[in-house]
């Protein structure tokens, strides 16, 4: 699969590190420092491009920028009709002292509003530092991946990719997802 990463920092490069060995192709984009972007791409043996270029190239686009950079990153990406946007952002204040939003709306809803026409999947991977380590487990156990319930329709699409992280979903998560999939398929049927 072709995965375009908008945001070449810790989270973006962690995705490349964990998924590239499983046969996925990557391109990195969007960095305030072109030299750092090139170094990151060279370190992982991937190409770079402008956000709008990687959107056209990729099957899935991963958004991995700091919260404050979301509007600019999506503006540079341009229209993404029909694309799957894997939103890995966390709506934190720049000093990480709290949430920038979250009392009346969510980060995922904000990204979906800014990325018109995309299919947004909110999936926050485990800490980037853990994913960059040689052993991305805690006490030998895979760590969890937060996936927002409104994105359950894409669950089956991503489940193979999630397993590539050495991540597992517990039974309650998969039961909840199955419930929502069944419920959404029943809408309109009486």
Residue 7 CB contacts under 8 Å (≥ 6 apart), including other chains: 29, 30, 31, 62, 63, 64, 65, 66, 69, 73, 88
Per-residue pLDDT reduced to its tens digit, 78-132: 999 989 899 999 888 889 888 898 778 888 889 988 998 888 888 777 677 767 6
Q: Of 117, 107, 53, nearest to 85 (Cα)?
A: 117
What the chain holds in terms of domains, given with CATH numbers, is 2-186 (3.40.50.720)
End-to-end Cα, the chain, rounded Å: 39
Q: What pLDDT, on the 0 to 100 scale, is given for residue 145?
A: 62
Joined together, the tokens standing for residue 2 give: 């072709």
pLDDT of residue 50: 97
For the chain, which residues score pLDDT lower than 50? 149-153, 155-156, 159, 162-174, 176, 179-180, 183-185, 187-188, 190
């Amino acid at each position: 699969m072709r995965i375009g990463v908008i945001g070449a920092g810790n989270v973006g490069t962690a995705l490349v590190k964990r998924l590239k060995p499983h046969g996925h192709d990557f391109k990195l984009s969007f960095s305030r420092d072109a030299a750092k972007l090139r170094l990151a791409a060279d370190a992982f043996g991937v190409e770079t491009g402008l956000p709008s270029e990687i959107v056209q190239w990729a099957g899935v686009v991963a958004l991995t920028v700091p919260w404050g950079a979301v509007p600019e990153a999506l503006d540079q990406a341009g229209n993404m009709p029909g694309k799957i946007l894997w939103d890995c952002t966390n709506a934190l204040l720049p000093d990480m002292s709290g949430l920038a939003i979250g009392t009346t709306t969510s980060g995922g809803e904000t990204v979906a509003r800014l990325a018109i026409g995309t299919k947004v999947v909110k999936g926050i991977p485990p800490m980037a530092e853990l994913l960059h380590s040689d052993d991305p487990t805690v006490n030998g156990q895979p760590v969890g991946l937060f996936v927002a319930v409104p994105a359950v329709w894409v669950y089956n699409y991503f489940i193979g990719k999630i397993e590539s992280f050495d991540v597992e979903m517990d039974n309650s998560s998969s039961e909840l997802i199955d419930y929502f999939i069944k419920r959404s398929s029943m809408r309109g049927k009486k």
